[in-house]
Amino acid sequence: MTEGHPNFSHITTIIFDMDGTLIEHTWQMERLCQVFFAQFADILAPVTEAEFFDCFWSKSADLWYMMIDGIIDGDTAAKYGYVNTLRALGRDTTLTDSMLAYWIELVLTEAVPFEDTFTVLDTVRQNYTTGILTNGFTDLQQRKIEKYNLASYVDFTLVSEEAGYHKPDKRAFFEALKLGNNASPGETLYIGDNLEADIAGALGAGLTPIFINIKNNLAAPEGVVKIQGLSELLTLLEL
């Protein structure tokens, strides 16, 4: 192994997070919300953008945790984020379907693979079992996977809603390992950009995490390797 690099000779399996790791979100959330609200501003008036999203994020957070607890499914959680918001604001709940569809359209427009995503996935897969484990609603996450044909570059994909567990819950990682030919946690790398969901979650499940921090604005926990781009993974693995 190259001097200064950790020894990954025992690694057989590499699992990637998706958002912020393989896929870049090119818009700031502020812009996404502005463009979304502008589409419905006239119908929602006099409700302001701030009033709408203050209510929406609160309702959506409650529904997200209901999904995590297995009380409702992801489709219901996504839909009722809008239904409950519109109802609370005294607006027409029949806007729900068009709002949900437009949000998905915007996200699929602004979420694009990083420049080196496909090269890295293709190279790594020639030497390791590879997969994607991502938190989120199955419908939206699968649309991202399908739009960029990511499933053809890895051996398996798993959305947390499908798994029934959500990172950092170690059971989400264990479900992914099952899909990776029942890989051992000790022989598996997990590449992710979120310190809690990805890094702490992987450590808790016994995997070896690599922290990808594109903006180089966060420090990795002690003992965790940090990279600023996917291509650096190829150097670490000597590929």
Q: Per residue in 13-44, pLDDT tens?
A: 999 999 999 999 999 999 999 999 999 999 99
Provide mean pLDDT across the span 220-235.
95
Strand partners, 211: 192, 226
Confidence of residue 2 (pLDDT cuts 50, 70, 90): very low
User: Who wins on pLDDT, 6 or 208?
Assistant: 208
Instruction: Give pLDDT, residue 7.
Output: 87
How would you class 143 by CB atoms within 10 Å of its CB: exposed for 0-12, middle for 13-18, buried for 19 or more? middle
Q: At what angle do helices 138-147 and 96-110 cross, to 10 degrees?
A: 40
Q: Per residue in 120-143, pLDDT tens?
A: 999 999 999 999 999 999 999 999
Give ∠ CA 239-133-70 in degrees, rounded to 5.
Answer: 170
Measure the CA–CA gap between 230 and 123, rounded to whole angstroms. Answer: 11
Confidence of residue 180 (pLDDT cuts 50, 70, 90): very high
Confidence of residue 3 (pLDDT cuts 50, 70, 90): very low
Instruction: Give pLDDT, residue 1.
Output: 36
**60, 76 in Cβ contact below 8 A?**
no
Question: 194-222 in b/e burial notation, b at 16+ Cβ within 10 A?
Answer: bbebbbbbbbebebbbbbbbeeeeeebee
Residue 99 has pLDDT above 60, yes or no: yes
- The secondary element (H helix, E strand) that includes residue 190 is strand 188-192
Residue 236 has pLDDT above 60, yes or no: yes
**Among 3-12, 133-142, 143-152, 225-234, which stretch is predicted with the lowest mean pLDDT?**
3-12
Confidence of residue 4 (pLDDT cuts 50, 70, 90): low
**For the chain, which domains are there?**
13-22+114-236 (3.40.50.1000), 29-110 (1.10.150.240)
Instruction: Give pLDDT, residue 129.
Output: 97
Instruction: Give pLDDT, residue 6.
Output: 84
